[in-house]
Amino acid sequence: MKTVAVVVQEGFSPFEFGLACEAFGLDRSDDGIAPFDFRICAAEPGLVASNLGFSITVENDLSFAAVADLVVVTPVPRATWAMADERVCEAVRGAVARDAWVLSVCSGAFVLAASGVLDGRRATTHWRYAETMSAMYPEIEVDPDVLYVQDGKIITSAGTAAGLDACLHLLRQELGAEVTNVIARRMVVAPQRDGGQAQFIARPLPRVTSLSLTPVADWMLENLRHDLTVEQVAARAHMSPRTFARRFKADFGATPAAWLARQRIIHAQRLLETTDLGLDRIAQDCGFGSAAVLRQNFTRMLGTTPTAYRATFAA
């Protein structure tokens, strides 16, 4: 991925637009990361108004989006959902046709939906708009409970900060986990969040009766190589397994087992990128036990094998 086009339209949201600029537009040459050819595009170049009373000057039309390796679609006002700009939709369809990446942030997913590229696919948007999208586009499988969805080379993200999660997810695939960690550190954000936007949907919350589980989670990370059971970790938190599992999911957005499996995969990615250890040794260090189990979990979560991942991202 060398070229990135961010498409803005009248009434764009500055924060989500800024996320794309931060993720793909910042020059990080001093960190040893080659910059992208990054350009902001609009159907009609010139002044484009935001939804907060100020405008930006956009110099590029959609011709760059027609050849870019990644096209990012920023949020659009609710009033435009039923009448998306056909010029932008055509740019999205063209990107998908040439197998480029397409990423939408928040309500930008409605532009992708209007273009038809999400038909028969799984996607997401802000949880407040999920029902509306499902009603408008019943042929799309809308998942309201996740931070982002990747289906092929199309990535749709939930509201606001989830757009950054989606950007980092894409960077992880293109640049590898180690480089993405450098980018995330510079942004002062977690390189990969677990859980989903269900954590942020308004609903009655259980009364918190325990201290933070962060120390227990840190201990789990330090002991990835061991066979950790819910009973064992719950005892360390001085809780019953059932209470611990409920509290852990409330705090981290995932069950202890799912969270642990994800952390083991992240550790395996680091070892594959930065060492020449064999798969059996990596499997042991990550707590998978054998190379076969590592391959099974790695392929299920990342859609590629450990060997192929190392061939692409090894330092």
Name the H helices within 14-126. 14-20, 86-97, 109-115
**pLDDT of amino acid 177:** 82
205: three-class secondary structure by DSSP: coil
Q: Where are the domains of the chain?
A: 3-187, 204-315
Tens of pLDDT along 34-67? Answer: 999 999 999 999 999 999 999 999 999 999 999 9
Q: Which of the residue ranges 6-10, 164-168, 235-239, 304-308 has the most confident prediction, judged by mean pLDDT? A: 6-10
- Say how many CA atoms lie within 13 Å of 44 toward its Cβ: 7
Name the H helices within 161-255. 162-175, 177-187, 214-222, 230-236, 241-252
Bigger pLDDT: 205 vs 81: 81
Tens of pLDDT along 124-139? Answer: 999 999 999 999 999 9
Cα-Cα-Cα-Cα dihedral sign, residues 179, 185, 186, 189: positive
Tokens of residue 183, six digits? 């980018």
- 154-157 and 148-151: which strand pairing? antiparallel
pTM above 0.95, yes or no: no
**pLDDT of amino acid 260:** 92
* Span 24-39, average pLDDT: 95
**pLDDT of amino acid 206:** 40
Say whether 204-315 and 3-187 share the same fold. no
Q: Strand order in 101-104's β-sheet?
A: 37-41, 3-7, 70-73, 101-104, 154-157, 148-151
* Span 225-238, average pLDDT: 92
In terms of Cα–Cα distance, which of 53, 20, 54 is closest to 39? 20
Reported confidence tier of residue 199, pLDDT bands at 50, 70, 90? very low
Tens of pLDDT along 172-192? Answer: 889 988 888 888 888 877 666
Residue % of the chain over a pLDDT of 70? 93
Total Cβ atoms within 10 A of residue 225: 15
Rounded distance between C-alpha atoms, residue 260 and residue 11, angstroms: 41
Q: Which amino acid is at 270?
A: R
Rounded distance between C-alpha atoms, residue 39 and residue 79, angstroms: 26
pLDDT mean across residues, the chain: 90
Lowest mean pLDDT among 60-69, 85-94, 219-228, 248-257: 248-257
CATH number of the 204-315 domain = 1.10.10.60
Bigger pLDDT: 8 vs 215: 8
**pLDDT of amino acid 208:** 41
CATH code matching the domain that covers 3-187, chosen among 3.20.20.450, 3.30.460.10, 3.20.20.70, 3.40.50.880: 3.40.50.880
